[in-house]
Amino acid sequence: MKELIRTNDAVVLSFAESLMKDAGIACFVADRDMSILEGSLGLLPRRFLVAEEDAERARRILIEAGLEKELRQ
C-alpha cells in the first residue's frame, strides 16, 4: 500500500474515498479508529492508502480534483 494523504480533515478523506470509488480504485483509511485513544480530538492524522499499482492513477485523480496540496511526496 502507498500512502497518498495524511490528514486530520475528515472531509478531505471522504472526498478522496469518493473519488477512488468512482474510479474503481480500492483504498483504505488507516488510523480511522484512533479517536478512541485520543478522545475524539482529531489530533492524530489519518492515512489514505491505495495499492502500489494504483498509486499513480490515484494521484492524478486527486490532483485533477484539486487535492494536490494534500498529497504526500
pLDDT tens, position by position, 13-50: 999 999 999 999 999 999 876 655 555 555 688 999 99
Q: Is the dihedral of CA 48, 54, 27, 37 positive or negative?
A: negative
User: What is the CATH architecture of 2-70?
Assistant: 2-Layer Sandwich (3.30)
Q: Which residue has the higher pLDDT, 9 or 73?
A: 9
Name the 3-class secondary structure at 51: coil
**The three cell numbers locating residue 46:** 489519518
pLDDT for 40: 57
Q: Are 29 and 45 in contact (CB under 8 A)?
A: no
What is the C-alpha separation between 40 and 5, in angstroms, rounded? 20
User: Binning pLDDT at 50, 70 and 90, where does residue 73 land?
Assistant: confident
Specify the amino acid at residue 52: E
